[in-house]
Chain A
């Protein structure tokens, strides 16, 4: 097991390296750079930017060097000093910007994840046990709809409903009076209220997926001989259900645990833009559009790392649960 884990981690290292190269390449792709964007913005505001001003600014920010040199400086600073560069837009180190948004991002993501599992697993079990009942059709239909509806529109519709029913579209994560207030009980309650829509919207497709997986797995497990044996021995239905099929059906769900957090992280981006949430998605999106390259690059790198990490965790969990995969890996 240890050997498997080590081998898997070592394999991830070159992947991470190439990812960093590609990330840097991608953030360079859009035409123009931060300085030209900035100049364009300034000229809208009425300020005149001469070519000399732009060149001076480029030299100041280190944007006049060749791309590969910029890349090596970036990577060198990350590896040696843990310095991910400087956000031009925020006039702060990238890490400080990310830190500022990380708390709420993690809160939203973790609550969404908990929501997914707590809702999907019981519903999945219910749908399998009462296959072809009205409840099964209802939840299956709902999960299909959840898969087919684009998140961002779901967000708009829920906002609209909340506006018509409660008179408040619940935009953002805090009401206006709490945004800059220190933490208090009221602020926490306000936050909880505002989290309902984002959590439902972001968690929707994941929940729909999980319901389908859980239902399918349970259906497979429910007809296995061990269940029949247990029933023949006279165990109570409840005990049979939770002791055998549920435990077995949870395996594939547990093993995809690693991916789930990553997909929530990335899946929340568009929803966060629509709902105007103060989490990392919109910040990074604007960085990408505005060529705030170190911020955008760090974010992409971070996301990719999360995916690598998620896959790693999933692979290890899978190997831990399923000895077949462990030996297969050793064989190659």
Chain B
């Protein structure tokens, strides 16, 4: 009896030496992981996403300033350069920034900023600044980097109220990156339960659920979003508003996932091995969890990943129109509101920077989703 596995192993080794000797014995997830690892773009994207989320998680620590801190002296200040070489050509190991001096343009009377080479503020690490709560729990006043007072550090410039754009992008990412995750999470659960019931039990339940899904899907998403967001009362606490928006996203998104789940359930429930389990008297719950779910959960993960970019863009659009997150909370869409007017872009081009982070996030999620899809497909070489 020991001959057989040995024979099998040898055959596998000779047929596909590149896959390693135990490819035939690996679990589905193992194989998926191996294929995903080969997808270079997806791997890099995953690393970028990990960085972005880490940045969001530790945003208050990484950002030199808080969400609310502003300085009316530095309204619409341009980004500062981190320098190693000073005006006399001397090299400094510790990077520094020059102070800003402001002037008025004699013609337009607009405030213009220039570097003040007299004032040098070296970059300091672990400086004391505004207090915050790390991860919402640990109170702290230490920021990763900053400059000493009265110097200011505006790596990406400031907005119309003199708030540091770099800090606000980091802090805004907490909202912009978590809303889609929470929304997809909820719709994942809803889609799994409702789509599963629809596909597994069939009959009138299926018919009713399908009609409901069809009705929700018949609404064009954007106007539906607008209508629902318009219904959120103004001046409610940030947490409640966040909650409402996640619910709206999940409410619209679950139908797509439910359809995937239903389709998979229908195609799998008549497979021989499932019928065999049923005849042997295995309960519905056990069949679903043991025999059906493992068959398509990878497809679901892919579908969920690919649903995230759409939500990010939608959240941006809603906030941009003033229907999503509203100040004092900040998201990338809120930051981009200032880029709505072309004279703003013409005069203060750095205000378009949050667009870069939006594009980066959407692209990386797309690439990771593509990589996962290829990895989950057993017929793909």
Q: Is the CB of B222 within 8 A of A267?
A: yes
B363 neighbours in A (Cβ, 8 Å): 144-145, 148
Q: Is the CB of B317 within 8 A of A299?
A: no
B219 neighbours in A (Cβ, 8 Å): 19, 22, 300, 303-304, 307
Interface stretch of the complex, out of A24-32, A71-79, A114-122, A220-228: A24-32
Which of B223, B316, B339, B341 is packed against the most chain A CB atoms within 10 Å? B223
Q: Could you tell me the dominant secondary structure of chain A's interface residues?
A: helix
CB within 8 Å for A160 and B214 given contacts A269-B223, A270-B222? no
B314-331 vs A, Cβ < 8 Å mask (1 yes, 0 no): 001100110000000000
Q: Is the CB of A265 within 8 A of B220?
A: yes
Chain A residue, CB-CB nearest to B220: A266
| Chain B: interface residue total (CB-CB under 8 A) | 37
B362 at the interface (CB under 8 A from A): yes
A150 at the interface (CB under 8 A from B): yes
B275 neighbours in A (Cβ, 8 Å): none
A284 to B103, CA, bound (A): 45
Q: Is the CB of A266 within 8 A of B321?
A: no
Q: Is the CB of A18 within 8 A of B215?
A: yes
A56 neighbours in B (Cβ, 8 Å): none
A156-171 vs B, Cβ < 8 Å mask (1 yes, 0 no): 1101100110000100
A4 at the interface (CB under 8 A from B): no
Q: Is the CB of B352 within 8 A of A153?
A: yes
A265 neighbours in B (Cβ, 8 Å): 220
CB within 8 Å for A153 and B339 given contacts A15-B215, A262-B220, A307-B219? yes
Which of under 10, 10 to 19, 20 to 34, or 35 or more describes the interface residues of A?
Answer: 35 or more
A14 neighbours in B (Cβ, 8 Å): 211
B218 at the interface (CB under 8 A from A): yes
Q: Is the CB of B231 within 8 A of A152?
A: no
Q: Is the CB of A284 within 8 A of B366?
A: no
A156 to B358, CA, bound (A): 16
A311 neighbours in B (Cβ, 8 Å): 218
Q: Is the CB of B227 within 8 A of A29?
A: yes
A270 to B362, CA, bound (A): 19
B17-32 vs A, Cβ < 8 Å mask (1 yes, 0 no): 0000000000000000
Q: Is the CB of B309 within 8 A of A148?
A: yes
A159 to B341, CA, bound (A): 10
16 contacts between A and B (CB under 8 A): A14-B211, A19-B219, A30-B231, A148-B358, A149-B359, A150-B336, A153-B355, A156-B340, A156-B345, A159-B342, A160-B346, A284-B223, A288-B223, A296-B227, A307-B217, A311-B218
**Which positions in A face B, CB cutoff 8 Å?**
14-15, 18-19, 22, 26-27, 29-31, 144-145, 147-153, 156-157, 159-160, 163-164, 169, 262-263, 265-267, 269-270, 273-274, 284-285, 288-289, 296, 299-300, 303-304, 306-308, 311
